[in-house]
Amino acid sequence: MSLRSRITGTGSYAPETVLTNSDLEKKVDTSDEWITERTGIKERRIAKSSETTSDLCLEASKNALQAAGLKAWELDLIIVATMSGDMPMPSTASLLQKKLGAKNAGAFDLNAACSGFLYGLSAADNFIKGGAVKRILLVGAEVMSKFIDWKDRSTCVLFGDGAGAVTLEPSRGKRGVLSTHLYSDGSMWDFICLPGGGSQHPPSSKTIKNKMHCIKMKGNETFKVAVRTLEKLVVDTLKKNKVKPSELSMLIPHQANLRIIKATAERLDLPMSKVAVNLHRYGNTSSASIPLALDEVVRAGRIKKDDYILLEAFGAGLTWASALIRW
């Protein structure tokens, strides 16, 4: 029987501080009605000034390891998907490896923005299927609040902080990751970007003055591409696996915009009862959004053995990705 990678444990963590739409009304020219109507977001979690991305990773990882019945020293590899790591070097995954005490694990970061968790899932899946490793910890985590211009109402209302983690192990049979699909179009890189801090625009008084270390976004353009791209992506993913939309038990989309999520569900003729939605409580947590939502539905008992689960995401790059899992 074919070797597959299978998710054996899930975990998540969100900071305690809640920032509501009403709170934002006091910071910027916006309103709860405006934010809710355009995004579906009501509140988001915000990390403390002392909290780092690896701190959030640690809590989510502990929960995932406990759910899988694994010890940190049993891990062979740690992958952290993030665009808001603790520092440019070393990797946040290495810092997490130290905090966990995962002394036998290799570690690296991966950046595909909001699609990062699914890019990481594809990498982990291939590591396991190729026989290179047996036990992988995959984390999607972001502290987006530290890269926000709180005077820019087009972005500050969207993002929140959080982390989600899964453990993956080899399995023989029909259950596990059936396929992953990765795409990118760098010609639209400036639709969502954080231009400062890299080799093109290294930190300087100019980059700080021009707020180049904050997220920039062309919202309307991004929305149009996301809807069109994701509708095709989910249909193609199911076709390639010869799975009918009616056979899906759960759609777990990237939590960016409720209108995009509803459009994708309608394309599959899925009722919203089969769609995981938590962006009203967390906002857009980028690479953390899918594993955070996955952990919630798993712990709520909404996913059963042999269920077909479709994951999909769209983000900066531009990047988009999907994965079909038989639970």
pLDDT digits (tens, 9 = 90+) for 39-51: 999 999 999 999 9
Residues 280 and 249 in one domain: yes
* CATH number of the CATH domain containing 272: 3.40.47.10
Average confidence (pLDDT) over 223-239: 93
Q: Which of 173, 207, 229 is the last residue of a domain?
A: 173
Average confidence (pLDDT) over 269-294: 97
- pLDDT, residue 44, reads 97
Name, in order, each residue with C-beta under 8 angstroms of 182's C-beta and a sequence gap of 6 or more. 112, 115, 118, 119, 122, 319, 321
Residue 276 to residue 94: CA distance in whole angstroms: 31
Kindly tell me if the per-residue pLDDT of 313 is higher than 80: yes
Kindly tell me if the per-residue pLDDT of 14 is higher than 90: yes
Q: Which residues pair with 311 in a beta bridge?
A: 252, 323
Residues 320 and 188 in one domain: yes
pTM to 2 decimals? 0.96
User: Which residue of the set 21, 57, 114, 214 is catalytic?
Assistant: 114
Residues 238 and 319 in one domain: yes
- pLDDT, residue 219, reads 85
Give yes or no: 214 in active site: no
Packing angle of the helix pair 53-68, 289-299 (nearest 10 deg): 30
- pLDDT, residue 123, reads 98
- pLDDT, residue 1, reads 67
What is the residue-wise DSSP string for 172-234?
Answer: ESS-EEEEEEEEE-GGGGGGEE--SSSSSS-S-HHHHHTTTTS-EE-HHHHHHHHHHHHHHHH
- pLDDT, residue 159, reads 96
Residue 215 to residue 213: CA distance in whole angstroms: 7
Average confidence (pLDDT) over 27-31: 92
pLDDT, averaged across the chain: 95
Kindly tell me if the per-residue pLDDT of 62 is higher than 70: yes
Q: How is residue 55 written in tokens?
A: 């701190």
Q: Which of 158, 173, 188 is the last residue of a domain?
A: 173
Residues 166 and 198 in one domain: no
Residues 214 and 196 in one domain: yes
Residues 215 and 278 in one domain: yes
Residues 115 and 233 in one domain: no
User: Which residue of the set 21, 156, 254, 257 is catalytic?
Assistant: 254
Residues 101 and 215 in one domain: no
Q: Which of 142, 173, 204 is the last residue of a domain?
A: 173
Specify the higher pLDDT residue, 116 or 154: 116
How many residues does the structure list for the chain?
Answer: 327
Residues 57 and 167 in one domain: yes
Percent of the chain with pLDDT over 70: 100
CA–CA–CA angle 264, 308, 41 (5° rounding): 40
Give yes or no: 201 in active site: no
pLDDT digits (tens, 9 = 90+) for 194-207: 999 999 999 999 99
Residues 185 and 153 in one domain: no
- pLDDT, residue 113, reads 95
Residues 136 and 260 in one domain: no
Average confidence (pLDDT) over 259-275: 94
Q: How confident is the model at residue 130 (pLDDT cuts 50, 70, 90)?
A: very high
Q: Which domain covers residue 152, as residue numbers?
A: 3-173
How many distinct structural domains can be found in the chain?
A: 2
Kindly tell me if the per-residue pLDDT of 28 is higher than 70: yes
Residues 245 and 303 in one domain: yes
- pLDDT, residue 2, reads 83
- pLDDT, residue 320, reads 97
Q: How confident is the model at residue 322 (pLDDT cuts 50, 70, 90)?
A: very high
Give yes or no: 193 in active site: no
User: Which residue of the set 21, 63, 111, 284 is catalytic?
Assistant: 284
